[in-house]
Amino acid sequence: MNIYNEKGYLIIDKLNSLNTTFNLITGGRGTGKTFGLLEYAIDRGIKYIYLRRTQTIVDLISSDDYSPLKSLARVKGLECATKKINKYVSAHYIGDNPEPVGYCMALSTFSNVRGFDSTNIKWIIYDEYIPERNGRPIKGEGDAFLNCYETINRNRELDGEKPVKVWCAGNANNPSNPIFISLGVVNIARRAQEKKREITILRDRSISYINLVDSPISIAKKETALYKASKNAQFNAMSLDNTFGNVSEDIKSINLKGLNCIVAFDDIFAIYTLKNGGYYISEHISGTPAVYNTSDIDVKRFKIKYQKVMTAYARNTLTFENDFCLAVFTNILA
């Protein structure tokens, strides 16, 4: 399926035809993710919530100068306005229509929004959902996202209505980001990137992972000034090649033969004991280890039972099979 138009931008109609509830997009910068989703929703009268991670960002983009509608107004000649409704919510307007086309909110403060009627909301557009490596973490971010969706979707499926559709659009900053973890797709996304597979559909879970690995825009950008000048391989890989990049060179591959696999976290990684008393973190799971999931309660249980593992991490004495294992261990347990 070709998902790019003649200029190299995303064709949202093609992605919408995948008919999945949760649509997770990672792609290079400037590929038309945000613009295309907002344009599609507005053109078809799909009322949306435009979600960002923090209230600081929402406050910034709640003015016309920084609104995500600014590019849409310029390209399509629309009169767009963004206005604050209350402390936590702003609204998007087109022309002199007094009815908002959508709302802008922050995940970090969504629980503070009271009495909001989400009956007419059909889409959630979660923009920049993967935080940059230096981004401020949100406590319980994965659970906050799931609770946010539950609040908006409510019981509409029990009443025979379609569920709210989610579009997560971001750059490949972190393979173990809170959304991938909460939806259990960390390894699915990583394998898609390794195989350069553009679309992965989990039909039984109504999830699509859209991996913009062949974006014509990203290919063209390699010849622009910034990327000719940049020697930052990790930044270039994220921005252009849509790969998560390496996060550490302090890794070592160890033969698993004779090692005891003591713990596994879902299907993401396993912890082995080494002959010298140390611990080894690997993608490969063997034997019948204790299995934990990534919920807050299971993480707490793990930390209580396996204090020695966390002590080894604090002392920088853990050994990781690869950069991916280091990234997911850090994001889940640190």
Taking only the tens place, the pLDDT of each residue in 74-106 is: 999 999 999 999 999 999 999 999 999 999 999
The residue with greater pLDDT, 176 or 206, is: 206
To the question of pTM greater than 0.85 for the whole model, the response is no
Tell me the CA distances in angstroms from 66 to 59, 61, 316, 321, one per residue in order.
10, 5, 42, 43
Give the pLDDT of residue 30. 81
Q: Is the pLDDT of residue 220 over 90?
A: no
Query: Rounded to an integer, what distance in angstroms lies between the CA atom of residue 330 and that of residue 242?
Result: 21
Average pLDDT over residues 221-237: 56
Give the pLDDT of residue 203. 98
Each residue's pLDDT tens digit, 43-80: 999 999 999 999 999 999 999 999 999 999 999 999 99
Cβ atoms of 256 and 271 within 8 Å: the answer is no
Cβ atoms of 323 and 247 within 8 Å: the answer is yes
Confidence grade of residue 303 (pLDDT, cut at 50, 70, 90)? very high
DSSP state of 34: H
Tell which residue, 56, 17, 84, 31, has the closest CA to residue 214.
31
Q: What share of the chain is helix, strand, coil (3-state, %, to 5)?
A: 35, 20, 45
Query: Rounded to an integer, what distance in angstroms lies between the CA atom of residue 192 and that of residue 194?
Result: 6
Q: Which amino acid is at 265?
A: F
Cβ-count burial 1-15 (b if 16+ within 10 Å, e if not) = eebbeeebbbbbeeb
Give the pLDDT of residue 246. 47
What is residue 153's three-state secondary structure? Answer: helix
Q: Is the pLDDT of residue 228 over 70?
A: no
